[in-house]
Structure 1
């Protein structure tokens, strides 16, 4: 109410920014993106030579890490440089998916101060037009008008600062995830290149279905 109608878009942006922050914080939990122990489990059964198509499809559906490892297994018989290219291609798609809504969050962080400044300018214009009509007579009224105009600027900063911090934090977290996922993929390639183990591999605990043996 104190900031006038320019506060309406700022309130809309604040609600949108909060929704994005909550959604991305839930979607980018480490246990969801990189399930603990999944890389080691995949390396174990892959080194044992038990690589069935259904097993790889189950791996792909578990998490972004599982999708990256499954992409490497899909082309495991190709030269190592081609496998690395596939890992990089899938990694770019995963980054794009994990950065969903982050461009919108960055736009809110940039637009918040501008909308706040716009509200301040509108308030100052209205105040000066009032001065033209009634004169400066009351200094307290003038000070109150300036304070009312600055409410929009303060509101814009309140919206922009958390949005900017969350945007940078999510970007850094995604970059960290990608480095860890690439490391897991390289370790998987090293495990595949080893001679297959003779021992049977026990089913995993991450929702990966064991391969079905032919009867």
Structure 2
């Protein structure tokens, strides 16, 4: 492994750094974007029980707000419910925008890594090829063995760049889809909350 890194030259340094950063972002986002963390089913069920039993108070609202991202959105709406439907909806939308921004944290750097890693690999290959042909020109004769060996070393950076970029791109697309699914669930909970609070919808024992 070390020999491959050495063969790739100085360009392998940013490629390796990109791989470490991409792995850290992927693991952190997978942990942060767990559905059980973003919208804990037990917290949501308890909220509907509080509303049905008319037990909602300031202390419970603070607990809801601190429980999860979805809890933050719903608590924001409940805190402004007395001001009418439109104000409640606006407060939910504003808080949801901030929550979505938090959910998307680090995804732009991950997408950037997926874009620049193969370019760094190509740059390393071009630099390597320039060195190969410079050595060939200095030797004054075409040595096939030297040329083929130099080319194989130069291609190491391209392979390394693609090895980093492909998983980063797949993870980026996957995380975007996961966020979209979480946001849809959050929107459904928020709509149901507005309808229940303003008497447009009944709530059953399960809060459905």
With normalisation by structure 2, the TM-score equals 0.89
1 or 2 for the larger relative contact order (CA 8 Å, sep ≥6)?
A: 1
Residue in structure 2 matching 1:144, options 136, 146, 149 = 149
Equivalent residue for 1:43?
A: 48
Equivalent residue for 2:122?
A: 117
Equivalent residue for 1:66?
A: 71
Higher helix proportion (structure 1 or 2): 2
Task: Give, in whole Å, the separation in 1 of the partners of 2:180 and 2:104.
Answer: 10
Equivalent residue for 1:95?
A: 100
Aligned residue for 2:8, secondary structure, equals coil
How far the C-alpha of 1:168 sits from its partner, in A, is: 1.1
Q: Contact conserved, 2:11 with 2:120, CA < 8 A, in 1? A: yes
Out of 41-50 and 180-189, give the one that drifted further: 41-50
Structure 2: runs of 5 or more not aligned: 1-5
The equivalences for 1:65-214 within 5 A come to 65-194=70-199
Give runs of ≥4 in structure 1 deviating > 3 Å: none
Gap change, CA 1:124 and 1:73, over 3 Å in 2: same
Structure 1: runs of 5 or more not aligned: 202-215
Gap change, CA 1:79 and 1:136, over 3 Å in 2: farther
Task: Give, in whole Å, the separation in 1 of the partners of 2:199 and 2:91.
Answer: 20
Equivalent residue for 2:3?
A: none
Query: How many residue pairs align between the two structures?
Result: 197
Per-residue CA deviations over 1:19-43 (Å, capped at 9, x if unaligned) read 1111111111111111114323212
Query: Is it true that 1:22 corresponds to 2:23 in the alignment?
Result: no
Out of 27-36 and 136-145, give the one that drifted further: 136-145
With normalisation by structure 1, the TM-score equals 0.87
